[in-house]
Amino acid sequence: MGGYAVQWHAALGRVGGQVRLLAASCSARAHREELDGLIADGAGPSSSRLCEARARQLVGSRYRSALASEIEALIELAGAASVGASSPPTLSLVDLQIDEARAARSQLSKVAEALRSADPPVARGVALATLLVRDGRSPLYVENAPDDVQLAATATTAALIGSTPGSDMPRWWASNRQ
């Protein structure tokens, strides 16, 4: 009878660990904007259970592939937008900075390529790419210095492949995170 109790408690321990992992994953998804900011700022996945769960989501191949597709769609949209149009294309209720996106086409393509090919992917780089594409305060959507999209995309690519982003990324990132 004692052996059965030990097996039962061991099984409960495994299930409990899976439940905790699932709960952390759900909570990380609910707080993704805040966690993406923390990870982009350099918080390592080991800094909290939620950061660890969000980092796992960020580096997943389906997530990275979907984000790369979004970047490619932005590039296509910027290229297809008529020059001199009365209003820029709107994505999720924010205006795309067409000229800046066009000028950064090469750098944005490198971000998409790195998202698909980075092995192993770096969570910080994926978080930076997520914020570049999905944060309405990104230089893709808010007018900044003319080269901010290019600099942000270059720094994001560096972070995706494990290099340290240069000092150019914080110029727009730090000013918008306060």
At what angle are helices 123-134 and 61-80 packed, to 10 degrees? 40
With respect to residue 123, please indicate whether it lies within any of the assigned structural domains: yes
Show the domain range for 76.
60-176
List the one residue out of 62, 39, 50 whose CA is nearest residue 124.
39
Residue 82 is predicted with a pLDDT of 55
Residue-wise pLDDT for 64-108, tens only, equals: 999 999 999 999 888 886 555 555 555 555 688 888 999 999 999
Work out the pLDDT band at 170, boundaries 50, 70, 90.
Answer: very low
CB 26 within 8 Å of CB 53: no
Residue 12 is predicted with a pLDDT of 47
Tally the domains of the chain.
Answer: 1
Q: Which residues pair with 90 in a beta bridge?
A: 95
